[in-house]
Amino acid sequence: MTTVVSPEGAGAPPPPSARPRKSVTGSRRGVAVLFLLPALVLLGALVVYPIGYSVWRSLYDADGSGFVGLGNYVDVFTDSATLTAVRNTAIWVAVAPALVTALGLVFAVLTERVRWGTAFKLIVFMPMAISMLAAGIIFRLVYEQDPSQGAANAVVKSIHDTFVSSSVYPNARPNAAASDLKASGGGSFTTTGTVRAGTPALLPLVGIAPGRLPGTPKDARSAAGSGITGTVWLDFRLGGGGTKGRVDPGEKALKGVRVEAVKEGRTVASATTAADGTFTLPASADGARLRLPGSNFAAPYNGIDWLGPTLVTPAIIGSYVWMWAGFAMVLIAAGLAGVDRNLLEAARVDGANEWQVFRRVTVPLLAPVLVVVMVTLMINVMKVFDLVYIIAPQPSQDNANVLALQLFLSSFGGGGNYGVGSALGVILLVLVAPVMYVNIRRLRKERRP
């Protein structure tokens, strides 16, 4: 019996289920899996296994010998150091990415309008080439308290001294053995007796080396005259000699010292010593006590305690912004290059000023890029460790603590509790996961036609 095959059936292709399946690149699935196998093995060994082991280890005690269940997580959320780390991490996530993104946006927009924009971008991006360790060392020096070493306080002190006069004799104090000046609060000194016309007041001070007096001081001179006068001088001379409480030859005058006449707690007159240390008060000062205000002896202004408990976290965030502003600028500038210029020109033609064009056209068009930068930085700041560990001095490190640093301290920095350290690692993973999920969803939406 002969079977007749219809012409239509002779050339028909086999059903899809009968053909070997291929990937979108045209390769068989088995070949694709074979090429992906090394990457999958590395992913499992370096990512999946450590995550699983950390979850398992977080359920055991410090040395791993006893099962404690969720006890380590309870310890994490009841320990004051960890709660400080959680608070500081929240500050980092809320502040640092927003500052970096905003600064990068401003730089990207402004550098489009200047001829030397490329050079500026190179300078701003350059800190990205520096390691976190090196940046931490740099900013540890920048924030040094001593203005002669710390750049930040050198600038602050220069600005302060421009508008506020500093103390002339910060270490001076009365000669207790030869003067009736006594401490009267606020760093000031007041005489126990009163001043009378025709009787010059003697206000000797010590505590300053003659060679460290500002300028070229003159020799002190005893005041004279029938008015209310007196002398303020350094009651000491090189080589010794002389009588304490009396102006001796060779002893130096203290110029520019403010002297106040006080009656019943109220200042009735004041004067400033001349180059020879003498001063003259009006007749209204008769019968008053003399006071040398604390402003004469205040310690010199040494700037701001950047790395103190109050400002240490904002100071470290400032160093992070310095490092990552270039990263944000480059990404945003790349997005800005793809913006349709016709839309910007149309807005200007319609009467919008530059601020309106920026706020209502440029920023909305750059929204996808800004989201990418923000999400990337949020993930990054949750893991920040190097800057905090290097910049924050030991007395302030507890105040600057973050979760990544607390993880290190709990496990390897002397704590030796790998259970709590693993629990902190799991908590960090849980905090990062939602941000990563949002980022992955956004990427998938962008790939859809």
220-251 pLDDT per residue, tens = 888 887 888 999 988 887 766 778 888 888 88
pLDDT band at 80 (very low <50, low <70, confident <90, very high): confident
The pLDDT > 90 percentage for the chain reads: 25
Q: Which of 310, 313, 444, 308 is nearest to 381 (CA)?
A: 313
More confident residue, 6 or 70: 70
Q: Which token pair is 163? A: 């508008």
- Whether the pLDDT of residue 7 is over 60: the answer is no
Report the DSSP beta bridge partners of residue 262.
Answer: 267, 289
How many other β-carbons are positioned within 10 Å of the β-carbon of residue 411?
19
How many other β-carbons are positioned within 10 Å of the β-carbon of residue 221?
16
Q: Which helix (H) or strand (E) holds 266?
A: strand 266-272
pLDDT band at 141 (very low <50, low <70, confident <90, very high): very high
- In one-letter notation, the amino acid at residue 283 is A
- To 10 degrees, the CA torsion angle through 183, 185, 189, 193? -80
The mean pLDDT of 345-353, rounded to a whole number, is: 88
The mean pLDDT of 326-348, rounded to a whole number, is: 89
pLDDT band at 259 (very low <50, low <70, confident <90, very high): very high
Q: Mind spelling out the 3-state secondary structure of the chain?
A: CCCCCCHHHHCCCCCHHHCCCECCCCCEHHHHHHHHHHHHHHHHHHHHHHHHHHHHHCCECCCCCCECCCHHHHHHCCCHHHHHHHHHHHHHHHHHHHHHHHHHHHHHHHHHHCCCHHHHHHHHHHHHHCCHHHHHHHHHHHCCCCCCCCHHHHHHHHHHHHHCCCCCCCCCEECCCCCCEEECCCCCEEECCCCECCECEEEEEECCCHHHCCCCCCECCCCCCCCEEEEEEECCCCCCCCCCCCCCCCCEECCCCEEEEEECCEEEEEEECCCCCEEEECHHHCCCEEEECHHHCCCCCCCCCCCCCCCHHHHHHHHHHHHHHHHHHHHHHHHHHCCCHHHHHHHHHCCCCHHHHHHHHHHHHCHHHHHHHHHHHHHHHHCCCHHHHHHCCHHHHCCCCCHHHHHHHHHCCCCCCHHHHHHHHHHHHHHHHHHHHHHHHHHHHHHCC
How far is the C-alpha of 171 from the C-alpha of 169, rounded, in Å?
A: 6
pLDDT band at 137 (very low <50, low <70, confident <90, very high): very high
- Whether the pLDDT of residue 150 is over 80: the answer is yes
Q: Which token pair is 66? A: 């006893």
Could you give the angle at the alpha carbon of 47 between the alpha carbons of 45 and 48, nearest 5°?
Answer: 80
The mean pLDDT of 293-303, rounded to a whole number, is: 81
- Whether the pLDDT of residue 319 is over 90: the answer is yes
- Whether the pLDDT of residue 395 is over 90: the answer is no
The reported pLDDT for the residue numbered 20 is 54
pLDDT band at 321 (very low <50, low <70, confident <90, very high): very high
How far is the C-alpha of 409 from the C-alpha of 415, rounded, in Å?
A: 6
The reported pLDDT for the residue numbered 388 is 93
- Whether the pLDDT of residue 434 is over 90: the answer is no
Q: Which token pair is 324? A: 């990552």
How many other β-carbons are positioned within 10 Å of the β-carbon of residue 280?
16
- Whether the pLDDT of residue 9 is over 60: the answer is no
Q: Which of 206-215, 284-293, 425-434 has the highest mean pLDDT?
A: 284-293
